[in-house]
Amino acid sequence: MNNPLTYIKKYLSGSISSDEKQALQNWVEESEENRKEFIAAVKRWNANQPTIDVDSQKVYAKLMDKMVPVRKLHPVYRFSRYAAIFIGVAAMVYFFNKKEDSSTNAIEVVTNPTEDHNADKVKITLADGTVSYLDVDGSSDIKDANGNVVGTKSDRNVQFQANESETLVYNEIVIPRGEMFQLTLSDGTQVWLNADSSLKFPQKFINNAPNRMVYLEGEAFFDVTTNKEKPFVVKVDQMDVQVLGTQFNVSSYADDPAVATTLVEGSVLVQETEVRENSIILTPSYQATFDRSDKKMKQQKVNTDLYTAWRSKKIVLHNEPFSKLAKRIERAYDVDIVNHYEALNNAKFTGEFDVENIEDILMTFAEILPFTYEINDKNITITP
């Protein structure tokens, strides 16, 4: 590596590529001198940040040990131990190596048997009112009220067939907490839906419609088929996103303080729903956010991996408070977290994880900022 300090700076700022990150990890593990230089650089980088009373050297040394990832996934995610976490100036930065071990036990969060037996299934409501509940895995046909096949499901993907009708009718798909799903629309557009999300979409994009419009609640990544004659429009709370053909992520969970559109490729026009004059044209690697409290929209350059990694079953954090992270964990694992430890709520984390078992996630954070927790079915209680 020509300049490790440059790589460290890029790592801490969240702008490092996967290849650069691997090179940095290799360099850190080459020698004790490199490890010390890495820790010193992190401390210098965080010199002006607020502190938390944690022994960073002790935590670093402990987390540098080889750790074994859980092989069984629950429900759709898995932690990668190539990760780094730090809290303020304490800089809890560590790297993990993957290692297989069949003796590792996974602890699953079991759904309460008294709950609705369809709660963990994908719900599809057709325009004629037909409701289908699909298991996440496996294959099946989706039929309308007359028994006609209108879509097919294969594993975690549903593809709807374009019919002959020129009447615009909308279907809806709802993804439960703890799952992810992929949808192929009639024009070939690919949509990845995150946990606890729903999308209303036409059975067919008809010729006499001025655009291709869908309605999103929650989070989705779109890879839109190009059609210069018919813009693709995603309508979310307080915001419309219009494209011709591109790749972008939209997050609009009702309990999040802001609506965010992150552009990976191409260009998009983002408009406020109520004040159409307020609009932004995004270019790649830029994000538009609409703050629900002050009703203002802004744009900023971002590392798109932070906002799209969920498609690869990862959680990527950059200076993110645990209070915000907890919501993501709740959606990904279909659990409810009650946190009585205020210091943890305010702590900020940076890291990258292939999400694994919920027990291992809690244990990882508990080693950084010690706390106790109790898991009771889908309810998790955290205490100092």
Residue 244: HSE in the Cβ half-sphere, 13 Å Cα cutoff: 7
C-alpha–C-alpha distance, residues 368 and 317, integer Å: 15
pLDDT-derived band at 115 (thresholds 50, 70, 90) equals: very low
**Confidence label for 219 from pLDDT (cuts 50, 70 and 90):** very high
Q: Are residues 143 and 222 in the same domain?
A: yes
Distance separating alpha carbons of residues 380 and 1, to the nearest angstrom: 43
- What is the residue whose two structure tokens read 């205490």? 383
Is residue 62 within 8 Å of 363, Cβ to Cβ?
no
Task: Return d(Cα 4, Cα 365) in angstroms, integer.
Answer: 27
pLDDT at 134 over 90: no
Q: What is the CATH number of the domain that holds 293?
A: 2.60.120.1440
Verify that 145 and 188 share a domain, yes or no: yes
Residues 257 and 297 in one domain: yes
Indicate the pLDDT class of residue 168, thresholds 50, 70 and 90: confident
Residue 25, in any domain of the structure:
no
Confidence of residue 16 (pLDDT cuts 50, 70, 90): confident
In 3D space, the residue among 249, 234, 157, 162 whose CA is nearest the CA of residue 200 turns out to be: 234
Q: How far is 384 from 373, CA to CA, in rounded Å?
A: 9
- Asked whether residue 169 is assigned to any structural domain, the reply reads yes
The closest of 215, 221, 172 to 192, measured between CA atoms, is: 221
- Region of 183 please: left (phi>0), alpha (psi -120 to 50) or beta: beta
Same domain, 221 and 337: no
Final residue of a domain: which of 291, 307, 323? 307
Q: What is the pLDDT of residue 73?
A: 25
Question: Could you tell me if residue 33 is inside a domain?
Answer: no
- For the stretch 248-307, pLDDT in tens is 999 999 989 999 999 999 999 999 887 777 889 999 999 999 998 888 899 999 989 889
Question: At which of 307, 329, 352 does a domain end?
Answer: 307
Band of residue 51 on the pLDDT scale cut at 50, 70, 90:
very low
Q: For residue 199, is it within any domain?
A: yes
Rounded to the nearest integer, the mean pLDDT of the chain is 77
pLDDT band at 100 (very low <50, low <70, confident <90, very high): very low
C-alpha 161/C-alpha 175 separation (Å) is 20
Confidence of residue 45 (pLDDT cuts 50, 70, 90): low
User: Would residue 378 count as lying in a domain?
Assistant: yes
Same domain, 233 and 290: yes
Is residue 101 domain-shared with residue 224, that is, in the same domain?
Answer: no
For residues 163 and 143, give the distance between their C-alpha atoms in angstroms, rounded to a whole number.
13
The residues, ordered by sequence, that sit 6+ positions from 164 with a Cβ below 8 Å of its Cβ are none
CA distance 80 to 99: 10
258 and 154 assigned to the same domain: yes
Residue 227 and residue 182 share a domain: yes
Q: How many domains does the chain have?
A: 2
Q: Are 162 and 132 contacting, i.e. CB atoms less than 8 angstroms apart?
A: no
Q: How many CB atoms lie within 10 A of CB 368?
A: 23
**Which amino acid, residue 55?**
D
**Residue 270 sits in the same domain as residue 329:** no
Given 307, 323, 355, the domain boundary residue is: 307
Q: Average pLDDT of 380-384?
A: 91
Specify the CATH number for the domain of residue 101.
3.55.50.30
**Mean pLDDT value of segment 214-225:** 95
- Sequence-separated (6 or more) residues with CB below 8 Å from residue 230: 205, 209, 210, 211, 212
The larger pLDDT score, comparing residue 90 to residue 251, is at 251
The answer to the question of residue 22 being in a domain is no
Whether pLDDT at 77 is above 70: no
Res. 70: pLDDT tops 80: no
For residues 292 and 160, state if they share a domain: yes
Question: Is 233 a domain residue?
Answer: yes
C-alpha–C-alpha distance, residues 50 and 44, integer Å: 13
Q: Are 319 and 303 in contact (CB under 8 A)?
A: no
Is residue 81 scored above 60 in pLDDT?
A: no
Q: Structural domain of residue 267, as residue ranges? A: 122-307
Are residues 278 and 159 part of one domain? Answer: yes
pLDDT band at 101 (very low <50, low <70, confident <90, very high): very low
Q: What is the mean pLDDT of residues 347-359?
A: 74
On whether residue 240 sits in a domain, the answer given is yes
Of 91, 89, 93, 71, nearest to 80 by C-alpha is 71
> Quick one: 56 and 190 in the same domain?
no
